[in-house]
């Protein structure tokens, strides 16, 4: 049995976040001691590790809830989990495309300014003030 602090240390998930996951139903409420302290079992530790890994990969709370539902019913098809992961992959790829466009634009406006002179003549500030000077949509 693990205290909430021990669970936090083992999974590197902050205590308030653990409580939040209980509130939203990702973690089942653990047993409590006579002193009303939470006591998590190994299954709770494994579930929190699962949640932490899924969050690290960018899955939403809703997606994690669906994945947990599938995990709790091992006789169900894996297709739903694959679909959820594929949707996350698609979202990540879209974010990467947007970040690359931002990188190009930031590179362009920083190359347009050598940092010398006064802010009145600064190309970075001028570019930020006039979106029409941007070469890429972002």
Where are the domains positioned within the chain?
A: 4-73
Can you tell me which residue has the tokens 């006789």? 75
What would the pLDDT profile of 68-94 be if each residue is shown by its tens digit? 999 999 999 999 999 999 999 999 999
CA distance 7 to 1: 9
Q: E strand or H helix at 32, and its extent?
A: strand 31-32
Q: What is the pTM of this model?
A: 0.79
The CATH classification of domain 4-73, taken from the options 3.40.50.2000, 3.40.50.80, 1.10.1660.10, 2.60.290.11: 1.10.1660.10
Sign of the CA dihedral running 26, 31, 34, 38: negative
User: Which tens digits make up the pLDDT trace of 44-58?
Assistant: 999 999 999 999 999
């Amino acid at each position: 049995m693990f205290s909430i602090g021990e669970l936090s240390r083992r999974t590197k998930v902050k205590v308030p976040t653990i409580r939040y996951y209980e509130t939203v139903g990702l973690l089942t409420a653990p047993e409590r001691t006579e002193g009303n302290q939470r006591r998590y079992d190994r299954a709770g530790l494994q579930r929190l590790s699962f949640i932490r890994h899924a969050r690290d990969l960018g899955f939403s709370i809703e997606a994690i809830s669906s994945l947990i539902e599938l995990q709790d019913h091992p006789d169900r098809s894996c297709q739903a989990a694959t679909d959820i992961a594929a949707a996350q992959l698609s979202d990540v790829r879209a974010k990467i495309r947007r970040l690359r466009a931002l990188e190009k634009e930031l590179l362009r406006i920083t190359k347009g300014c050598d940092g010398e002179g006064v802010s009145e003549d600064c190309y970075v500030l001028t570019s930020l003030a006039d979106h029409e000077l941007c070469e890429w949509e972002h």
